[in-house]
Structure 1
Amino acid sequence: MKRKDDGSVVVMEGHTSPAKGIHSGSRSPLVLSYNTDEVFLWSWPSLTLTNKLRLEDRVAVVWAGHVWQRDELVVCFINGSLLLWPSQDLSTQRTIEPPSGLDFDFTAFTLSSGGEWIVGGGKSHLMVTYSLVGRRVSQVVQLPSSCNSVYQAIFLPPVHPRFCQVLAILNTTGVLNIIDFTSMTKIKTVRSQRFNIDSVSVSEDGNFLAVSYANSITKVYPVNALFPEDPKNVELRNIKKRDELLDRNKWYPILVEFKSYPEKYRSLIWVSMLELPRNYLVFSTLLDKGMHSAFEGLKEVLKLSDGSLLKTLQGTLSCLAHWAPFLSSIEYLPELIFPFVKFFHSNRLLCFEVAVTFIMNWCRLWFEFWPKPSVTVLTVLSNEDWVVLWDHIFSNPPSFLPCAAAAFTIKSRHTLLTCEDAQDVKTYYSQEAWISVKHIIDKAYFIYQNTSAETLPKELFGELKPMPKGGLPIFNIGPRDAREEERGNVERKLRNLSLRTEALKHKQSKATEDTSRLAEKEEMVYTIGRKDLEKQEEECLNSILNLRKRHLATAELDAS
């Protein structure tokens, strides 16, 4: 055996047969070595033999040790009995007999970390707890069904707040079970599919468990890894880890360098960039409302051959309409939402939340003048190019979208200049174009970075506003009331005309007085010509005023 201080090897002689085990502790001044017939005491650190306990008249020894907390020596026997001595007086001994009726051989004993109990077991599903304080058998407990036939048992240190007394029990089949000693329930099982476990041991500091297998390999496990984690801590850590992994600031440098996100992880990155809350309960409530009547005939309109995709699209559109009824009147909504549904079709919740986030952030100005001519839903890019473009749109503020649309038009200028009429232009914007998506993106960034605030009022588009957690955003981007807007414009123009008319009359009155004073000094022709000019200007303004009044009256009549 090696000394702890200098690492030298000391020969411990005296046993008449091979030693079965050695017990020593960091706080114990004694080392015990034992076999089935004898127990030897050695002083530490000199490792000199100080005493011998000959037990020829008793049954075989299974375990022996020094309980330093009580300064006692304990010897455990195969029949379940215990023999105790004060370490300073070996002539005094006490015995704890096993419970009557137990008919099995004990093969393993272990001492609790506080020195209060010893637990023993053997070829049975029962374990006996001995109280060293009361010097008696405390209880007999039954192990879980998979933990019978104990080969080795070890008390693990209390590293978990929920489990203060934990046993590591190795059974004869080579399987290690971690047991809550208080409730006798199994916490964890450690096993190998190919090799049995031969033995286990705990490090001196109690932080690691060494497990030796039949193939001569020893694996070391952190003791705290053997326990279930607190659900609250797991959830908080998972949230923190998810937030770190899905931080949108970490994705953008990848996009800048590689011009697109990895195809394999694109859906996850989009979810991260849009900060989708995944409100399952809210989405379930909308789903429970069923199919919206506006989209019942969608199959005949879109002619989709994929029934699953059609069902997902109908469900997404119905949820959107239940959330914002106005959207059911947008004729091009299915075509607008379809690419996102196709991309996320395996997850209906993400289909819905991506659509809501897209509408609330990138479509705020699209519906304001409905039902006047609205945005044409375009299919000018292939599916591969479409997702790459949206990598950049989702990674930038909403004001980047009109820059991308302008970039496409600028890159198409040579083709557009050859169009002979409006129908040719419309045809061009409704079919897949030949322009490289890379060129479109590069031009979009150039426009976005070099356009003045007056030309591109970024504050009008705002920054990304993610969906609230546990709820839905308020849909407040419906169409303006065209008649109210027109009436307001007419009233503003009438007020301006009235002010101009009053100013003109005042000016005319003053001019007439001046003309009267100068009439004798100026020629009559000049005076008449000036009055005619002013009269014509007044008649023109009055005519415009009357025209506006008739326009307003017509608008009010239509409203009624």
Structure 2
Amino acid sequence: MYNKYVTLINVFIVINSKEPKHKDYQRNLKIKNVYCLLSINNSKLIKNNSGIKKDIVNDISFCSICVDYGILKCITKDLSFDDNNHENNSILDGVSKDIEESNIAKLQHFKMGAIDQKGNIYIFDFERNTYNLIARSGISANCISFNPYNKNEIIVGHTNKSIRSYNIGSKKLAVVLSSYHHSEPYAFSFHPHQPYLLSTSFKDVIVWDLSENSCLRVLIGIQDSEIQNAIFSKSGQQIIASFLNGNILIWNSETFNMEWKISLEALKNENIIIPKKHFPTNLQNTSLLIMSKDNTQLVYGGMGSTLFIWNIIEKVLQYELNLTILNSSALKRIEYVGNKKMVVVLSNDGNLVFINTKTGSLIAFRNEIKCSSFTLSNDGEFIFLILNQKSKVLIYSTSQLINYQKPVNIKSLKESSKETEGIIEVGSNTTTQVRSLYETIDQHKLPENKTEYELYSSKDIHPAVINFKKKYPLKIYRVLRSMEKIMSMLCYWSPVFENIDYLPNMIFPFVKIYENDTFSCFEILLTVIINYCQKWWEFYPNPPIECLDMLESLLSYHDKELYNHFVKYNITSQYYGWELVNNFFSDILSKNEWLCLWDNILTSCDPSYLYYFVIAYLKYLKKSILRITDIEDFMFFIHKENPCQFSKIIRLTNEVKKCTPEDLKFKKILKPYYSLSSNTNYPIFNEYPKYIINYQTKLKEKIRLEEEEYLKKK
């Protein structure tokens, strides 16, 4: 099998721990532990005519490739090459036993088209084990694709602004589409049901009717609004285009009426003109806009190294991912992996990033293989890479290339050292990637109860939250909208939150982290409230007396001098304890410090960790506190950021926890950490005096109705 590829294709195979058969494997690939099924080398093509050597072509570069499913209808005699000019002519002899038969068998169902820098178009038919030179166009190209409506044709977007179709069977030019483009076309998109083609250039987008080879529509970009990309939706009902002014427009593909406008200017709250330096320097196979096959998500990567993911059904931005791992390199190509909620992202530097579009998380990062372009098979099983030197096309099994990385193991962080007890410090890798830790909790501990979440989220904004915009006029609309939604859902979940004035301060840091993912944010807040807010509202509107009493005893044990100072000047635990805890320390900590603290809180799975931190924080600032004798001065002091070495406070917190005797530990009054179950509804939260809450709710509703009635009369 594959013996006809001997002179054109070097086959590199790695099976488990066995050494590769080819002695130059590591030298040629310069990578380790990445499985390569086939390597197509186009640097030493030697053309023959009737057995007589005709010409030698060296250093041919592939410009673009395409892949399609199915066998070609008409295959002519394959090219022959000079066997004397190649070493390892029998490279496949004795290797077939080691080939991963399952992957090779799947690969045989595909065919690949490729065009090189001299305009030579090749077809590789893996089923028949043949390759063919289809045409010598003499013109380089930016994009190439099989015609889905005529499997025996291949369409090429040339650098001379023309689009041509070649017949694979006859090896002849079939048609040249009229040259309406004002710049080089670099991307194609096909209608899923009709014979329509979208071709994108920097100046314009053209809708073609391939059945009549005619132009239907021309979309022209104006000054400062040049076009980045245009695609058909997977349903074929919309045309989606992105522009350099930060707008993404969605039209009906039949009426060409605009259905939706996405403005990145509104998201960023500033005027946006995307610099051309953020556009790929090499236009070949550029694709910055892609839609999932189930027509629910739209992914855009035309702003440097930032990736935007929209929910098309709800018309909301799900994620705005700044891919810092790419070191500010602009994105060049994005493709979905089959039917999965996963995209492959290629940067200008040739690095590949695999992103889970459902959770907005990083799956894998590959910087060992520097490639200039790539494409995927329809089912996502195989990925075809053009290396940066462009003389090779590597074919991989996508799952093996991804090499899924395991998420953070929370227990290993906890048990990594008996002395440090898993302390996570500011600036460490674990705290700078706090989002991945939260996603680990999402995956293993949160219920992901989408059905019940939608019951809460589908409700109108709760009356208790209607005036939130007036009280807190946040500049960023996206954060304001997320705050309103989360607060409203919490009010519907439990009436106690209708009357809590400090609720916005409690939830704001979590909403800021998850401003584009209210689903995860809501479930994380439920987990935090159920575990770390135990007994907080049992004596509402008074503070949690039991918890503060335990805190006083704890301070008296660990620092008698500080405790006596508070007693002397009538500074109660309501001031030095409750004022710190009830907003989750958002007033006194910077962003990185807050993230570091919550890394430690969540990894500890200890509901009393917050109170140990209060003691450690007070002890660390003891010298400053002992000079304060007035309650107002103390309130000012504990509601501002005080300079500190935060890692020392975290260590001190763990020391306080370790040295606390059993009779002073909060487990006497607090329940153990509880993970929300994925098999049941959200838990009921009714740990509050119902008669007070009900009375306040009725009173507020009465006042609200009276105000509405007064305004109507007025």
TM-score, length-scaled by structure 2: 0.37
Higher relative contact order (CA 8 A, sep 6+): 2
TM-score, length-scaled by structure 1: 0.46
| Structure whose residues are more often helix by fraction | 1
| Structure whose residues are more often strand by fraction | 2
